[in-house]
Structure 1
């Protein structure tokens, strides 16, 4: 996390209204520093800003039809830095889509709904806690 103890969060969604609503929800909680992007390409261009977590839409072709989809973006994020947790957020409620995202190393998959924000906050907390424990365990194991 960054110096002011806020979680640096990238939100990537081509639905401008949903993206703004999600941004407002996260800003309102006070625990997050937010950057928003309407395409995967814009997100990738800003990975040097070192996000702690990325919330990524599964479909990203609403604005630019030739834009990368969520899975392509996820693969490129993981190629850049496999340790960045990426949570896929989508209106797709098909199990095969969720499984496919997990095979591409998504940290989790959440279906867009009225409770998505609360579920996202919970998953972010769990993912960051797990990553912290994993780093501590690795540090400990290297010293044995």
Structure 2
């Protein structure tokens, strides 16, 4: 679902203002995205009507707002409303248990915040659109068979 300018719409959800601004600048350097940033889960969910193509969501969202949902609860909420929405989970935690739990709740992928995180996110965005294109082509073919 592209916006009126046919740009890819990304939601970046993270309560770390420096990280989110850095990610936004990095993504804008490499592609022409329409990016909306939020520092709480509530803001993200309230704006789902803006039809993001991809949501990049921090696992911990309680650095500033202590009573907010964390990324996992938000992922579950997003998937209940939009089951096919690709959601990338970001975290400083490099643990298998957290990653598996996120994947169990249908995150597209889990990215550890590290020196390679921005590059990995860009590759995942490309992968998501590649899968979506393949799915459209398969549906087109199946409709004709």
TM range (shorter): over 0.9
Q: Superposition RMSD on alpha carbons, in Å?
A: 1.2
Offset, 1:83: 1.4
- Superposed CA deviations along residues 64-106 of structure 1, whole A, max 9, x for unmatched, are 1110010110011111111110000110100111010000000
Map residues 1-144 of structure 1 onto 2, 5 A cutoff: 1-144=2-145
Distance in 2 separating the partners of 1:75 and 1:143: 35
- Compute the TM-score of the two structures, normalised by the length of structure 1: 0.94
Distance 2:141 2:78 in 1: 28
Map Cα deviations across residues 10-35 of structure 1 (whole Å, 9 max, x no partner): 00001111111111111222321100
List runs of 5+ in structure 2 lacking aligned partners.
none
Q: Out of 131-140 and 49-58, give the one that drifted further.
A: 131-140
How many positions carry a matched residue from both structures? 144
SS of the equivalent of 1:141 reads helix
**C-alpha separation in 2, matches of 1:54 and 1:134:** 19
Ranges in structure 1 where 5+ consecutive residues have no aligned partner: none
Separation in structure 1 between the aligned mates of residue 61 and residue 4 of structure 2, nearest angstrom? 31
C-alpha distance in 2 between matches for 1:38 and 1:82 = 22
Determine the C-alpha separation between the residues in 2 that align with 1:136 and 1:83: 17
The TM-score with structure 2 as length reference comes to 0.94
What is the CA–CA distance in structure 2 between the aligned matches of 1:116 and 1:91, rounded to whole Å? Answer: 10
SS in 2 for 1:124: helix
